[in-house]
């Protein structure tokens, strides 16, 4: 389970392992350890404001994750903010400030 922070960049671990050279090790090295949460399915980078979100998105795009500028969305990651999710993704269940990977047995129905 990933708990809520003001802004959270959420990435499924399988996407990291499939698309980022060096996988989780590379992602962890790109961000400060206290800002990272993970469970067995998801990794989240906690961010303070929209400027940090943009910077984090640029980092992960440079590492190999995709963001479509025209539609302002991605299937590789999403942003969960205090206002809500910025774009829905099929692999995420969000409920009352926490998020689960869709296949997590602890995810709410």
Residue range 65-95, pLDDT digits in tens? 999 999 999 999 999 888 888 999 988 887 7
Number of separate domains in the chain: 1
- C-beta atoms surrounding 12 within 10 Å: 21
Q: Which domain holds residue 26?
A: 2-101
- Percent of the chain having pLDDT more than 70? 86
Determine if residue 38 is left, alpha or beta; phi over 0 gives left, psi from -120 to 50 gives alpha, anything else beta: beta
Whether 18 is in a domain gets the answer yes
Whether 91 is in a domain gets the answer yes
Q: What is the pairing mode between strands 7-12 and 42-47? A: antiparallel
pLDDT attached to residue 107 = 54
Whether 82 is in a domain gets the answer yes
Whether 106 is in a domain gets the answer no
Whether 109 is in a domain gets the answer no
Over residues 39-56, mean pLDDT: 92
Reported as a pLDDT band with limits 50, 70 and 90, residue 1 is low
For 26-44, the pLDDT digits (tens) are 999 999 888 899 989 999 9
Whether 22 is in a domain gets the answer yes
9 pairs with which residues across the strands? 45, 79
The answer to whether the CB of 38 falls within 8 A of the CB of 31 is no
Whole-angstrom Cα distance, residue 60 to residue 56?
6
pLDDT at position 99 over 60 = yes
Determine if residue 97 is left, alpha or beta; phi over 0 gives left, psi from -120 to 50 gives alpha, anything else beta: left
The encoded tokens of residue 79 equal: 């942003």
Whether 107 is in a domain gets the answer no
């Amino acid at each position: 389970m990933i708990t809520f922070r003001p802004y959270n960049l959420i990435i499924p671990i399988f996407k990291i392992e499939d698309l980022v050279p060096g996988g989780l090790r590379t992602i962890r090295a790109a961000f400060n350890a206290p800002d990272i949460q993970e469970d067995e399915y998801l990794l989240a980078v906690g961010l303070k404001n929209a400027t940090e979100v943009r910077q984090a998105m640029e980092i992960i795009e440079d590492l190999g994750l995709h963001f479509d500028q025209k539609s302002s969305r991605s299937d590789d990651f999403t942003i969960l903010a205090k206002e809500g999710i910025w774009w829905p993704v099929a692999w995420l269940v969000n409920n009352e400030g926490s998020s689960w990977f869709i296949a997590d047995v602890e995810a709410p129905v």
